[in-house]
Amino acid sequence: MRGDNMPKKSKKDNTPTKPSLDDKTHIPFAGEVVDQKIVDTLEINYMPYAMSVIMSRAIPEIDGFKPSHRKILYTMYKMGLLTGARAKSAKIVGQVMQLNPHGDAAIYDTMVRLSRGYGALLHPFVDSKGNFGKAYSRDMMWAASRYTEAKLEKICSELFNDIDKNTVDMVDNFDNTMKEPRLLPVTFPTVLVNLNNGIAVGMASSICSFNLEEVCRTAIELIKNPDFDVMETLKAPDFSGGGLLLYNREQMKEIYDTGRGGFKVRSRWRYDKANGCIEVTEIPPTSTSEAIIDKIIDKIKAGSVKEISDIRDETDLSGLKITMDLKRGTDPEKLMKKLYSSTPLQDTFSCNFNVLVNGCPKVMGVKELLNEWIEFRRGCIRRRTEFDLKRAKDRLHLLRGLEKILLDIDKAISIIRNTEEEAEVVPNLMIGFGIDKIQAEFVAEIKLRHLNKEYILKRLQDIEKLVKVIEDLEDILSKPKRVNRIIIFELEEVIKKYPSERKTEILYDAVDDTSGYEKEPVPSYPVTLFFTKEGYFKKITPQSLRMSSAQKLKEGDTVLQTIETTNNVDLLFFTNKCQVYKARANDFEDTKASSIGDFISAKLSMDSGEAPVYLAVTSDYSGYMFFMFENGKGAKITMSSYETTTNRKKLIKAYSSKATLNCVVQLESDRDLVIVSSNAKNLLLNTALIEPKSTRDSQGVGIMKLKKGQYIAEVKEYKDGMFAKPYKYRTKNLPAAGSILTPEDRGEQMLLFSGEE
């Protein structure tokens, strides 16, 4: 019942109401402007799209394939292209469209990248004929699908082995007219054998390729021993384009353990002394020949590379070749080191082993990824065994019925002959021999020519064989060790059938010796750095500050540090996760006071939940870092401990994680600090009393004595006049208890703080 104070709605009032959030698949009043909260828009409109991209397009699953790859390969398999002759690519694309409702261009592009001709995969899945382009070329386009032909490579037999035995789930295609596999029952870990990249919404995947034999050997050892160290057999990534991998054990271990990290790959080259030229024949997987040539030409025009008189692309049917003619007297070794440091002739491959496992994206290390694949393969073996077991039992059931008939064939013939109606033959056989309907149907269909001694003996022998087969299959299902042995046997067979030598050479204990060559000069000019509590960073020139010094900040944010320095210093951002991220001031754009600045956690790709807490600035890594912990301990670490020979962006164990951090201070030289405890005691400490350590995560030494329940509340720099009698709070021996402020110092402190405000 409407109250008197409620406005009455006109019958002609067709104003749309706010759409209901109950219906997630349809928005009422589509096309009309309605009031809607942004969070509702994201939930209803954006989230389904994001999840579709993540699960149905960009991220590979545990079988190593994205849906687009799987649809193409399965269609080619059903077309008989595993053993038959090649078919026109256009025909294949047309058939794939029954499973993949995308355009023919997108399907063909995906098929090209799976092909041997394109050369992107270490073990291609498509045997191609015609121009399929090249992975190392940006401009070399592949021919149209009507001109090329393709079939499946022999190794694809390992992808579809026993797929018709219920090894994987079959699901409907987009219009429910066909079935397709949700995953492929791969007999080896394809997820690590071939290169795979994808960019989804809010996440990405980048999986480098590894040598087939090394991956299979590692999987075998993991099945035998779950605690096996994968680095013993899985040496390093291997790429179809070859190249030289700079092996750093610490970096590789981080990739193997976490699934994240990067490593450098440089080009392979040779010097033709007779013609005075360098020939580059292999390049990193992240580079292209055109990008390399363009960058070198830019260097030549800028005058930073003067040793090259000409550069050209001499790639032909024999493979990639970039030729550089050198001027007389040029040292090719020094030139290549210079080019490695400043061109894509050396590049970093960034890893992000993000894989869909049971529909959920998950970043995993190599061991975890292989264990997930092993578990997936165990499931395939069990399902195949259950399928074979059911068929064997069904067959045995039929033969058991036949066995009863064969013991008295004359009786069976008599029953059939004396049955007046055909429909009564099966019921009469069931009654006469005590068999069920399925067995009776089978007996009734036996041809007259088979009622002989030879046929009878063979069927009886089949019964004996089937009994043994069933016992063996049931034994497999009851013993996980037998399942493991089957997987190991299949992996060993893959190694035998598809021998694979490494293409990428590993340079063990290699040091990136290009750091001393041809670095772009960093302009040096004065700047002021601002670092805020919320983790924002700004770099502002003095001229810009003179125009406007009022800093724009996020609501509730405050400036923690203001540092006057130059544009070519190193920046060390210490975080709440005991890590430090390194950057250069030159990496950040000059900005204005009216800008909110760069959000450091995103800019430096920090881990989830990680935030910067302190900024240190250095140009020569002299001085110290002082860390004060709430338990009264402090550590003075030499700045040189954070200096690295390689251009590493993140250092773990930047400080001790044994206690909660209270304060970080950069010390160019030793100075006085005031340490205040939670019970209001003050200690005047000169940092010279603390012995410096080179171990970054040192727990430090006891500085302030604390009773149970007490902690360090504050650390601040001592300023002249802060205490009337400083000696009352100073100590020469550590740890010390500190002293309560005297009445006169409490007054001085109040005056000092009020003056600062």
Chain centroid to CA 604: 17
393 HSE (CA, 13 A, CB side): 10
The answer to whether the Cα torsion of 180, 186, 189, 193 is positive or negative is negative
Token pair in block for residue 558: 């405050």
CA pair distance 273, 94, nearest whole angstrom: 52
**500 touches 263 (CB < 8 A):** no
One-letter amino acid of 69: H
Coil, strand or helix at 729: coil
92 HSE (CA, 13 A, CB side): 36
Name the catalytic one among 147, 247, 271, 655: 147
Token pair 């209001």 is found at 680
DSSP assignment string, 265-293: EE-EEEEETTTTEEEEEE--TT--HHHHH
**313 touches 297 (CB < 8 A):** no
Taking alpha carbons only, the member of 608, 610, 111, 106 closest to residue 363 is: 608
**96 touches 73 (CB < 8 A):** no
One-letter amino acid of 505: E
Helix (H), strand (E) at residue 395: helix 366-406
CA pair distance 93, 110, nearest whole angstrom: 10
β-pairing verdict for 526-532 and 570-575: unpaired
CA pair distance 694, 640, nearest whole angstrom: 8
Taking alpha carbons only, the member of 190, 108, 120, 205 closest to residue 157 is: 190
**595 touches 620 (CB < 8 A):** no
* Coarse DSSP helix, strand, coil percentages of the chain, rounded to the nearest 5 percent: 35, 20, 40
Kindly report the number of other CB atoms within 10 A of residue 74's CB atom: 20
CA pair distance 157, 335, nearest whole angstrom: 47
Taking alpha carbons only, the member of 750, 747, 740 closest to residue 681 is: 740
Is 108 annotated in the active site?
Answer: no
Token pair in block for residue 97: 């469209």
* Backbone Cα Rg of the chain: 36
Coil, strand or helix at 26: coil
Residues carrying an active site annotation: 147
